[in-house]
Amino acid sequence: MAILIDERTKVVVAGLTGSEGTFHSLRNRSYGTQVVAGVTPGKGGQDVEGIPVFDTVDDAVAETGANTSLVFVPARFAAEAIYEAADAEVDLIVCITEGIPVRDMAQVTSYLRGTSVALVGPNCPGVISPGRCNVGIIPGEICAPGRVGLVSRSGTLTYQIVHELTQRGIGQSTCVGMGGDPVHGIGFIDSLQRFEADPDTDLVVMIGEIGGDDEERAAAFIDDWMTKPVVAYIAGFTAPPGKRMGHAGAIITGSSGTAQAKAEALEAAGVNVGRTPTEVAELVQATLV
Partner 1 sequence: MDLFEHQGKDLFAKHGIALAEREVATTPREAADAAERLGGHVAVKVQVQAGGRGKGGGVALVHSPEEAAAEARRMLDEGFKGTRVTRVLVERLVDIAAQYFAAISLDRSAGKYLAMVSNEGGVDIEEVARTNADAIRRLHVDAVLGLRTYQARRLVGHLPPRAREGSADLLRKMYSVLAEADATLVEVNPFVQLTDGTVMALDAKVTVDDNALFRQPDVAALKDSFPIDPVERRARDAGLQYVKLDGEVGIIGNGAGLVMSTLDVVQQAGANAANFLDVGGGARADLIATSLEVILSDPNVKSVLINIFGGITRCDLVAKGVLEAFTRVTPEVPIVVRLDGTNAEEGRRILAEAGNPHIVSAATMLEAARKAADLAHGKAA
Binding to partner 1 by residue 217, rule CB under 8 A?
yes
Rg (CA), the chain: 18
At residue 183, φ and ψ (nearest 5 deg) are -115, 120
Return the closest-CA partner of residue 139 out of 155, 121, 122, 118: 155
Binds partner 1 by CB under 8 A, chosen from 26, 118, 220, 245: 245
Query: Which of the residues 24, 163, 184, 247 is marked catalytic?
Result: 247
163 noted as active-site residue: no
Q: CA 281 to CA 4: how far, in whole Å?
A: 24
Q: CA 52 to CA 55: how far, in whole Å?
A: 10
Closest distance to partner 1 from the beta carbon of 225 (Å): 18
Binds partner 1 by CB under 8 A, chosen from 120, 155, 165, 283: 155
Closest distance to partner 1 from the beta carbon of 154 (Å): 2
Binds partner 1 by CB under 8 A, chosen from 52, 125, 131, 149: 125
Distances (CA, A) of 192 to 3, 158, 161, 171, 277: 10, 16, 18, 18, 20
Pick the closer one to partner 1 by CB: 13 or 235: 235
Distance of CA 105 to the CA centre of its chain: 16
**Which residues are identified as catalytic?**
247
Q: Residues in the site for partner 1, rule: CB under 8 A?
A: 20, 24, 75-76, 98-103, 105-107, 109-111, 125, 137-139, 142, 152-160, 163, 180, 182-183, 207, 209-210, 212-214, 217, 233, 235-240, 243-250, 254, 259, 275-278
